[in-house]
Chains A and B, each alone.
Chain A
Amino acid sequence: MSQPPVPSAPPSYPALTLRGLTKAFGQKIAVNQLSLAVPRGSLYGFVGPNGAGKTTTLSMATGLLRPDAGQVWVGDIDLWANPAAAKAKLGVLPDGLRLFDRLSGQELLTYTGLLRNLDRAVIKERSAQLLRALGLDQDAKKAVADYSAGMTKKISLAAALLHAPDLLVLDEPFEAIDPVSAKHIEDILRNFVTGGGTVILSSHVMDTVQRVCDHVAIIADGWLRAAGPVAAVAAGEDLTTRFFQLVGATGPAEELTWLRPSSN
C-alpha cells in the first residue's frame, strides 16, 4: 500500500479493503481470490448475475461468514482479528437472513440499539426519526412478522443505520422496494455519503447501480471482473452492455416451442 503523502492528513485507508478473499462450499468455489478497495466516501455498487458470489463476499466482509483465506480490513482494523472493534464501525443489511420477527418494528430497533450498547434516549430519538424517514411510523407497533418484503427491508435498513456506522454494507437494499421508498433510501444513502460515510451495496439491477453509485465492481462465478469508478468500468459504453460483455452473456434463450397453453 502507498503511504499517505502528508503524514498529518486524516487517515487515507480505504473504508473497506478485501484481500484475496476466498470461500468454497464443498467442491464449488463461491468466491475466488477477491481483492477490492472501497474508497472512503464512495457509494460502491457490487453487481453480478445470480450465484456470482455477491452475498458470500458481503457476508465475509461483515464478519458473518469466515473466509477460507484472505483478509478484511475495515479502515485500519483487521475484522477477523479484532471483530468487536470492526463490527462497531459497520452497519449491515444481509440478504436472506431472518429477523426477530415477533418484535414490533420499534422493538426491533430498540433491541438492535441495546445490543450495540447505545444509550436508551439516543435509541428512542433516532429510531423515531428513522421510522418516519422510511415511512414505517404507521407500522412501528406491528410485529415484523406481519411486514411485507419491502417493509422488512426498510426496518432492516433502519437497524443498520441506528448506531451511525462509518461503513454501510447493504445486500440487495432495493429488492422489493417500491419506487417512492427507493427514492427515500437513495436520498438517505447520498446524505450519509455526503456526511463522510461510505456505502457498498449489491444489486443485480444495472439501472439502479448506474443511477445511485459512483463506483462499481462486477463479479461473476466468484471472480472479480472489473472494479473502479462507474465511468472507468463502463469504458465509454452503456454499463449494462459492458456488464454483458464482462460476464459473458450468451445469445437469446433457446426457444421453447412447446410452451403454449394446451388442452391436456
Chain B
Amino acid sequence: MSVIKRRLQELKEYPSAILGLTIIGILVIISLYAVITIPYGEAIRLWRGGEGVWIENPRNVPPAWTNHFPGVDRPETKVFSTLDRPDLKEITQVTDEVAEISISIPFTYEYDEFPREMSLFFAAEYENTRPFATIYWVTPDGREIELREGSIADRSAYRISQDRDLQRRKLDNLRPQVGLFAEEDSDPPRVLPGEYELRIEGYIFEPDSDLEAQFINYGQVHGLAGTDHRRRDISLALLWGTPIALAFGLLAAVGSTVTTMILAAIGVWYSRWVDGLIQKLTEVNLILQPLVVLVMIGTLYSRSIWVMLAVIIVLNIFSGAIKVYRSLFLQIKESHYVEAARAYGAGNLRIVFRYLIPRAIPVLVPQFVTLIPSLVFLEATLALLGLGDPVLPTWGKVLEDAQQHGALYLGHYYWVLSPSFLLILTGMGFSMVGFALDRILNPRLRGM
C-alpha cells in the first residue's frame, strides 16, 4: 500500500493530473452543494413541475451572463404583483357594494431588445358577479392604448403577447411585446426607452370582492444557464446532474473493475473449467452490443437509472479488460511468493484475495479512473436515445430535450453547450488523472 502512496505522490509532477484533480474537486463541491441546498425530492418535484412551478420564467432564453458580451443588452424578467406590493392598488368605495379599483404598475424599460412575452395573471374574489376592468398601456411618450376590457374570472390569465386582436387593430400588426415597446413609426421597430405604465381600472361589485393582479414582463435572459422549452431553469439540471453523473460513473466503474479483477483472479487460480467458462462468457459478451442490450432492458423493463447501472456493471464485467488482468495473473501465479504461500498451506481463496489481487491493484487504478468518463457519457448516450431516467434531472436529459426541440436549428446554442461543457469537463478531468496514473503505475510507459 505504501508503494501506491509513494506513486501517488508522483502525480504532483504531472501538471495535467493536477488540473484533472482540480476539476474533479470542483465537481465534488458542486455535487455537495446541489445535494445540500436542494433535497432530492425537491429537485425531482421542480424538474417535473410544469407551468405552475416555473410560470415566472421566460421560455427558451439564454443565460443572464450573456449580457456581459459587448453590444448585448437583453431585458431581464420583471414580476410585479399586487400581493407583494399592496401600494400598487387603490380601492375607492363608490356605494356600499360597488367599489372602484385601480391598479397602476409603473416601470422603467431601457433595454435594446424587446421582451420575450408579457402576461397578466389575476386572482379575483367574488360570490356571483365578477369584477370588471379595462387594461391600459401608457408609453413614455404619453400614448395610451387600451389593451382589453371585460370581466375577470378568478385564476385567469391575460397573455398580452398572444393577443392577436390587439396586434391587428392597434399595433400595425406588430406582435404585442414589440408593438407596445416600439418607437412610433420606427422600421425595423426600435425600443423606446423610458417609463412605462400598465394600468388596470375597474369595479368590484360585492362588499367582500377583491382583485389581485400579477404582471410578468418576460425577459430575454434568465439565471445561470437559461431556460428550456418548459420554462424550467436549466441550472437546476446542471447542478443536480453533477452528483448523479459522478455517482453513476463511480459506482459503475467500481462495480465492474473490482468484479472483473476478482473473476479474472479466480479464473486463473482455479483454471480448468472455471477459467474456460469465464473466457467463453467474455467471448459472448464481445458479440453483444451493450447499448442495444440496455435499450432492450429499457424498453421492456425499466428505465430507472439504477437498473441501468446494474445492467451496465454486469455487461462490463466480462469486457476486454478481463484479458488484461488474466495475462497479469498468469504471471503472478508463477511467482515464488505464491508458491511459498502454497507451501505454508494457504487456502485457495486466501491466495486469490491476499496474494494475487493486491499485486494487480496498480493496473486496476488507472483502468478504473479512465473508465469513469466513458460511463458518464454512457448515461448521456442513453438519455439521448430517450432512455434516460424518467424522473431525475441529468445532463443527458437536458441534451435530449435540446436535441428533440431542435436547439441547434433554432439557435438556442446555450441549451446544448452548457451540459456538453460539463460532460466534457468531467470526462477530461478523470481521463487526465487516469492517463497520468497509467504512466506512473505502468512501468512500461514510464517517461513516455
A binds B: no
- A residues in contact (CB < 8 Å) with B: none
